[in-house]
Structures are given as C-alpha cells and as structure tokens.
A and B are shown apart, each in its own frame.
Chain A
Amino acid sequence: MTYDIAIIGAGVTGAMTARAVSKFNLKVALLEKANDVAMGSSKANSGIVHAGFDAEPGSLMAEMNVKGCSMMKETCEKLHVPYKNNGSLVIAFSDEEVDHLNELYERGVKNGVPDMRIISKKELKEMEPNISDAAMAALYAPTAGIVCPYELTIAAAECAVTNGVEFIRNCEVKGISTGKDELTLDTTQGEIKAKYIINAAGVYADEIAKMAGDDTIKIVARRGEYFLLDRSVGNTVNHTIFQCPTKMGKGILVAQTVDGNLLLGPTSEDVDDKSDLGTTWEGLNKVKSIATKSVPQVSARDAITSFTGLRAHSLAHEFIVEQSKKNPRLINAAGIESPGLSSAPAIAQRIAGIVEKLIPDVQVKSDYDDSRKEPVRFRHMTDEQRAELIKKNPAYGRIICRCETVTEGEILDAIHAPAGARDVDGVKRRTRAGMGRCQGGFCGTKVVSILAKELGVDIDEITKFGGNSKIVIGKTK
C-alpha cells in the first residue's frame, strides 16, 4: 500500500501537522521511532507560548511564532488541552539590560506582537511580589501563555487518528529511496511507501533529509536541564519570568506550568550525542543559581524531579518549513527549536497549504473534525460530577494515583484512546498518574498491572518508555 503522505516524527510539529492534513481525503501515516508520541523535544521543554518578540523581524520564525501564539488558545480549546494566557516578563538587572528590553520591544513591534510594554520596577513588584529587588524594569508581553507540550502533542495525534491518520509506533526510518512516483522508506516496521514525506524528525531532521537526498540542513542538539518543583510553590510567580536573552537562547526562566508546578530552566549547551538526555551536576547547579537571581526564594529543596530536553537547533537559526529544493517529494519541517511549540499551529497550517498546492485534486473531507473528545479529569470535577461519573462507571471511583487524584477509569481511557498509552510514561503523560510528589512510588506498580491486563501481556513485558526500559526483569525464584 502506498500512503499519500508519511509524516516522520510524532512530536508536536508532526502531530499538529498530522491533524492539519487529516482534513484532506488523503492516506496519511504518522511514523514515530519511539513507543509513543511526544518522545523527543516535545516532552521536555518549557511549555511556553512565546509572544514573538525574540525572533529576527522578517524571519519565518517570527511569522510562525506570532501567528502560532494567536492560534494557540482556540487550538487548545478544540483539543481540550490546558492553556493559560499568563503573560511573560523579561527582567532587566542593569542599564545595559534595560537597553536590551527596548531592543526587544522594537523587535516585537516589527514582528506584530500586540500590547507589549516596558514596565517600571514598581509595577513589576506589584505584578510579581517575589521578584528580586535587583530587577530594574521588565518587558511585559500579555499575549504570552503556557501550555502542556506533550498534552498538546497527544491531543493532536488523537485528533489525527480519529480523522483517519494511521499512527505507526516503534517505526524508525533507516533509509529512503526515491522512485518515479513515490518514496520507499526502509523502517524498523518494514517497507513503507509514500508519495510525499513530511520531515518532522526534530533533532534527527537533518539525517532524514539527507536520506532523501537533501544535505542542506544541519541540526545540532542543544541540551537544556530543568527542575520541576512541587505544586505547593507553584504560585511563587504569576507570569513567565525570563532574563535577557543571549545568543544561546532565552535563558533560564521561572514559570508556572499549566498543572500548577513551578519550572526552573533550561540551561543551554550544544551536545554531539542526539540522545543525551542525562542531567549534570553542573547544569542543575547553574539552573538553581540563575533562577534565584530572578526569584530569590525558589529552592531546589521543593524539586520533585529534574530532567533534560534537547532542542533541535538549526545552524541557520531559522525554521525550514518548505518543499525541499533537492527532492520535490520531501517537505521539511526542520530546525524547529524554540519557539517551535508556540509556532506549531501555524507551522501545521503552512504545511497543509503546501500539501494543497502539491496535490491539486485534494479535497477537504466532509466529516473532518478538528477537535478531540474531552478526556475525563476527575481531579478537576465538582463532587456532583464525580458522583454522577462513578455511578456510570465504578472504575472512576478507584483512585490509583493519590498525589494527583487519578482514577482507574482515566488510565483505562488513556490506554484505549486513539494512539493511546503503551507504557508507564505514556500513562503518566496522559493522566498525570505518577507525576506528583511521590513520582509513582505508590501507583507505579498498579499502573504496570493495569497496562499488562489491558494490553494482554505479562507484567515483565511492560516498559517505562518502550525499548529495553522494562520495569521488572522476570519472576522471582
């Protein structure tokens, strides 16, 4: 069978693109080398919807960012993904940095960022009482927001699959050969043929492009380390707090997450190994010391976890979202580093436009639905809603994760959803089971048992995140 389109990579770009092109009467496959969607940069980043004043005016990055930011609220509403328009603040600690704020402001105006203003120390203190006394002024961008990056990816993939996209996991593309009418992909799930491929392979986008004969892209993995703090300190700041950006990125931020935790990070370091997800003692110390410069009271003592994410940094520092000049059957969505999450709705829309031009007789399906069914979120319900829900299905009365109040019913839903969870981390990202302060200490074994039962396999087959990440190694003596 030949697909019209194979999308390589089920991160936020690939999944949002899958959703966008699933409106057409085309056969689409979404290929992912890992065991789940959102397994690369999309699961470990700051979750910020940037207003758009950072990118170079006139760049595609600037255009996609501002447009994506304006689309995010509606996208998240349709997909039932938590989004909060909390606004952002860039803090200046010196006269030079105040000048820098003015530059950022000017750039933002050129990029079309609405409603920005430079605020005084006094106003800053009123907006953020816990900010450092050393802060002199700030750039306030009220259109910035926060979103859960993996939940957006999961929801977009669910929506795409509901609209007919085939999600193929554990499918690593090893080689691509270009024929007259189609491309043949050599994958770990066998041979897959497609008329067009969309390269959304994140840090590996240069390698995929190269397989298809396009050697114009170079991606460097840029590592960022984070601390995630307990919800009890989630209200330390109201807005996303940045320091002045440098050439290595937007610096270490202090931000609330949509789930109410506090996030500190990321560091920024180019690494050779594109799978290097280890944290380092130095990196975490750096996060602590820089974050406390913005907000002195934040403390790693409240950390519930630390993690590392990789940005797919293009040497050109520009998004590449276009038909390849080297291979007309290849559409690249490469170099999608920050503000890639913010830009995802706009990038997906742009690619749908490219597809429409490339395949002239393409039509929009009459039954296309760009929303996702709202998942049950027991912890957000009123007692009346809870009572009603348990009456309908007792599985919603069985609390599995105590810290985050997640029910068995929600875990079953996550497993049986389109492009559903197949491993412990997949359940965690979809339901928050194990995401709380005990980090799965109590519920981990139960989640494993539920997965084994629902997937019809033995407990020793269940993994943390696919591959060889098995939770147990076999039976006891």
Chain B
Amino acid sequence: MINYDLVVIGGGPAGMAAALKAEECGVKKIVILERAESLGGILEQCIHTGFGLDYFGEELSGPEYADRFIQLVKKSTVDVKLNTMVLSIDDNKVVTAASSDEGLLKIQAKAIVLAMGCRERPRGALQMAGTRPSGIMTAGTAQRYVNIEGYMPGKKVVILGSGDIGLIMARRMTLEGAEVKVVCEIMPFSGGLTRNIVQCLNDYNIPLKLSTTVVATHGKERLEGVTIAKVDDKMQPIPGTEEYIDCDLLLLSVGLIPENELTKQANIPLDRVTKGAVVNEMRETEKDGIFACGNVLQVHDLVDFVTREAQLAGEGAAKYILGEGPKEKVYINTTPGHGVRYIVPQRINIKSGEDIKLYLRVGAIYKNARLVVEADGKIVSNKKHIKLAPGEMEDVLLPKDVIDGLNQDSKVSVYVEEA
C-alpha cells in the first residue's frame, strides 16, 4: 500500500489544475494517475486555437494550453503516474490501479479528485438504420486519426450533430482536402458555440441542416452513402423528406457523456441530467473527501471553465485534508426552474460564508429573456440576456449576504423569464 494525501484521477486539464491548486493550498503528497502515456488529456488532439482566451487572456491551441499546466506540474511536488488506469475506489478511499510499469497499485488516499473527463456518444445510442460498414466513427476518433496519427478516415464527409467537436472537425477535414457535404442537426438549433458555427461552417460554406438527421447508412464494407431526413417536433423522421448523400465517412458528434464508471462503482450519487456526480459548492460529492471536476462532472464548452472548476475542487480537497473546511454544514438544494435543465452545484452549504457561483444550461433557445435567481421568493438577480442557448453554459452569482440569510428550509432556484 502506498499513501498519498490526495489522489487525482485523470491528468487532463481538470486533474492538473486540481492537483496544482491543492499543492498551492498546502497539500504535501499529491499524485496524478493518468491512463495515457502523457498528461494533457483530450487537449493533445485539439490542435485548433481558441483555448485560453478567458483564463490566460490569449488564444492558444489545445496542446499549448495543456503544456502550460504540464510545465507547472513538472516544477511542482506533484507525482505523476502515467499508463496507469484506476480500476476501483473502495469505501476507505483505497484506489486500485493497473500500471504496466508498476504493476497493480493500491493507494490509500485522504482525499480523491475525480477528473476522468467525458466520452462521445456512439452510433448505437442513436436509432440509425442501415448497414454497419467502416467509415462511421465519432468526430473525436477522426480528430485523433487526423491530428495525432496522421491518417485520413475519408474524403467525402457527412457530419451528424453540430456539437463543437463536429463543427471543429468540419473545418479540419476541409483543410485536409476532404469535402464536407453537410452537417445535420436533429434539434432545431445547434448545440455548438456560435463562434464555431461562424468560423468552422460559414467561413467554408458548409451547409448546416437543422431538424435533420441521418436515418440510414449504406454500403456493405465501406460506407457509400447516407440517407438524411427532416424530423418533426418529436424528432421522428418525416416521410418524403429523405435525401441520399454520397459519402465515405460519417462523423458523429451527438453528445458527450461524463465518464462516470468509477464514480458509479464507488456508489457516489449522480445527477440524472448532467450524468455527473451531485456536488456542493466546493465540488465535493456526497461521499466525504471525494471531489469531482471538469467534464466528468458536467460537460463544459470551454477548457478555461474546466480549469476554474478544477481549482475549486483542488482547494476543497486541500481544505478537507488540512481540516480547514467549514466547521458547520447545512445543505440546501439548488433547484432548476422553468427553462433551466440543471444547476451545478446541486447543493450548497449555507454556512460556507462565501459567494457561490451557480453554473447552468438552458433547455432551448431564448431571446431577450431574463435569467432569474430567486431565494425564498425574493429575486436576487434577473439579468437580461440577448440570447440564451443550450450550447452555452451560463453562470449566476449567489452573493454571500444572500446565503447568510438562508436557513435549512430555504429554496434557491434559477429560471428563465421569457420576453
């Protein structure tokens, strides 16, 4: 058995920021367990720019953003174990991991930060008829082939799903000489960032078809084409709207799911909507001393926000280890009201004595609507937004003075007030 104060699971942007913050807060023995052969996580294959505008105030590529943190980890006292995959976490915070270099590891932790990131939804999760040839893959897999391995997975491309990775890959495949025929989105709006729609589709004249999905794939060995169709408001294909598109590659960008197998195994309660753990304002799960941050907690739009969230978790873990946490704990839940799909944190300690930021996503597109924060029937804030969209995470502030006035029966909710 090895002993560490803090075990951070995952060496992507979330894991690194959490570990560094914990060190800064005074934690002595920290280890990051990373399953890949290097730190950096998914950023390593995101060679496009647009990272760091918020956190560093400059535009970086994915690997550059990651490298800033990798260099800090190298200079720090944080240990890193690469090629190390965590298999389980037990009730006493013993982490079991497999490593080709060190064999089977058993690590006793005082606190744990979960930072395993997320994965892409595969084809099977969609009802898509047709054959199962090669040439159908997630956008992230294609990104890895093109950007890391240096191979082209196809030349004539259809993209299903207008999430950010799909949009980024539309541009990337075009730059590599492929023809991106269309991006289909089953929803009446894109789930991606507006800046990506402009920079990745509009700038290259790639059509985006909303309320449209791929209903069938064709070709026995290699993909030869897809049939797309318009869908109705129940997302069922409308007969007669089918259109055949000749292509040899179908990329799927149909959503990301937090990678919470370990979390479930450790019996940590999850939020049905975010599919991440239920956490408090320090990103501590309902298991004492186990924290979660980054895309394993909620899928983020920007890595900059991942970093900030991870720092919060790192600070929370440090306080837990050093016994500096709040002396008193009285939790109330935050309630998503009309138009709001979820709020992170799902519960807050009203004795925390600090401002708390609530992060949320809306469920549809709203124009000129207000995002209202209500505590015990009183409106705390009601900021007007020109546009609210599911693809852009919003945050609202719950100030310390409001929190101090709450009691254990208090209700805090956030809702959309439509124009």
Instruction: Contact check, B104 vs A439: say whether CB atoms are below 8 A apart.
Output: no
Could you tell me the distance in whole angstroms from the C-beta of A320 to the nearest C-beta in chain B? 28
Could you tell me the distance in whole angstroms from the C-beta of A36 to the nearest C-beta in chain B? 14
Given contacts A445-B145, A467-B221, contact A402 B35 (CB under 8 A): yes
A129: interface (CB < 8 Å): no
Instruction: Contact check, B129 vs A279: say whether CB atoms are below 8 A apart.
Output: yes
Instruction: Contact check, B119 vs A395: say whether CB atoms are below 8 A apart.
Output: no
Could you tell me the distance in whole angstroms from the C-beta of B135 to the nearest C-beta in chain A? 8
Instruction: Contact check, B104 vs A383: say whether CB atoms are below 8 A apart.
Output: yes
Residues 397-423 of A contacting B (Cβ, < 8 Å): 397-399, 402-403, 405, 407-408
Q: Which residues of A contact B154 (CB under 8 A)?
A: 473
Instruction: State the interface size on chain A (CB cutoff 8 A).
Output: 58
Q: Which residues of A contact B220 (CB under 8 A)?
A: 275, 277
- The answer for the CA separation of A407 and B153 in the assembled complex, in Å, is 25
Could you tell me the distance in whole angstroms from the C-beta of B159 to the nearest C-beta in chain A? 16
- The answer for the CA separation of A264 and B303 in the assembled complex, in Å, is 40
B85: interface (CB < 8 Å): yes
The 0/1 profile, CB within 8 Å of B marked 1, for residues 273-307 of chain A is 00101111101100000000000000010011111
- The answer for the CA separation of A468 and B134 in the assembled complex, in Å, is 9
The 0/1 profile, CB within 8 Å of A marked 1, for residues 144-174 of chain B is 1110111111110000000000000000000
The 0/1 profile, CB within 8 Å of A marked 1, for residues 168-186 of chain B is 0000000011000000000
- The answer for the CA separation of A390 and B120 in the assembled complex, in Å, is 30
- The answer for the CA separation of A391 and B99 in the assembled complex, in Å, is 10
A366: interface (CB < 8 Å): no
Instruction: Contact check, B100 vs A439: say whether CB atoms are below 8 A apart.
Output: no
In chain A, what residue has the closest Cβ to B104? A387
Given contacts A390-B104, A441-B141, contact A399 B125 (CB under 8 A): no
Q: Which residues of A contact B145 (CB under 8 A)?
A: 445, 472
Contact of A306 among B98, B127, B137, B222 (CB under 8 A): B127
Question: Would you call the interface of chain A mostly helix, strand, loop, or mixed?
Answer: mixed
In chain A, what residue has the closest Cβ to B131? A278
Instruction: Contact check, A475 vs B152: say whether CB atoms are below 8 A apart.
Output: yes
The 0/1 profile, CB within 8 Å of A marked 1, for residues 217-255 of chain B is 110111000000000000001000000000010000000
Instruction: Contact check, B237 vs A441: say whether CB atoms are below 8 A apart.
Output: no
Residues 439-476 of A contacting B (Cβ, < 8 Å): 439-442, 444-445, 449, 459-460, 463-476
A380: interface (CB < 8 Å): no
Instruction: Contact check, B125 vs A304: say whether CB atoms are below 8 A apart.
Output: yes
A394: interface (CB < 8 Å): yes
Q: Which residues of A contact B120 (CB under 8 A)?
A: 438, 441
B200: interface (CB < 8 Å): no
Instruction: State the interface size on chain B (CB cutoff 8 A).
Output: 55
Instruction: Contact check, B85 vs A476: say whether CB atoms are below 8 A apart.
Output: no
The 0/1 profile, CB within 8 Å of A marked 1, for residues 119-147 of chain B is 11011110111111110011011001110
- The answer for the CA separation of A466 and B220 in the assembled complex, in Å, is 11
Given contacts A467-B221, A469-B133, A476-B151, contact A284 B127 (CB under 8 A): yes
B216: interface (CB < 8 Å): yes
In chain B, what residue has the closest Cβ to A378? B98
B54: interface (CB < 8 Å): no
- The answer for the CA separation of A463 and B103 in the assembled complex, in Å, is 32
A228: interface (CB < 8 Å): yes
Instruction: Contact check, A438 vs B119: say whether CB atoms are below 8 A apart.
Output: yes
- The answer for the CA separation of A228 and B218 in the assembled complex, in Å, is 21
Could you tell me the distance in whole angstroms from the C-beta of A451 to the nearest C-beta in chain B? 13
Residues 284-339 of A contacting B (Cβ, < 8 Å): 284, 300, 303-307
B58: interface (CB < 8 Å): no
Instruction: Contact check, A395 vs B100: say whether CB atoms are below 8 A apart.
Output: yes
In chain A, what residue has the closest Cβ to B102? A397
Given contacts A397-B98, A397-B99, contact A444 B141 (CB under 8 A): yes
In chain B, what residue has the closest Cβ to A392? B103
Instruction: Contact check, B153 vs A277: say whether CB atoms are below 8 A apart.
Output: no
- The answer for the CA separation of A233 and B340 in the assembled complex, in Å, is 29
Instruction: Contact check, B104 vs A279: say whether CB atoms are below 8 A apart.
Output: no
- The answer for the CA separation of A278 and B155 in the assembled complex, in Å, is 23
Q: Which residues of A contact B101 (CB under 8 A)?
A: 394, 397
A247: interface (CB < 8 Å): no
Residues 22-60 of B contacting A (Cβ, < 8 Å): 35
Contact of B103 among A278, A280, A387, A472 (CB under 8 A): A387
A-B contact pairs, 15 of them (CB 8 A): A277-B220, A279-B130, A306-B127, A397-B104, A398-B83, A399-B35, A399-B85, A402-B85, A403-B261, A437-B122, A445-B145, A459-B149, A469-B133, A469-B222, A473-B154
- Beyond the given A383-B104, A476-B176, please list 8 additional residue pairs across the A-B interface where CB-CB is below 8 A: A279-B128, A280-B216, A281-B216, A283-B129, A396-B100, A397-B102, A477-B176, A477-B177
**Which B residues contact A (CB, under 8 angstroms)?**
35, 83, 85, 87, 96, 98-104, 106, 119-120, 122-125, 127-134, 137-138, 140-141, 144-146, 148-155, 176-177, 215-218, 220-222, 237, 248, 259, 261
Lowest 8 CB-CB distances: which A-B pairs, in order? A305-B124, A439-B122, A397-B100, A387-B104, A472-B151, A464-B134, A399-B85, A469-B134
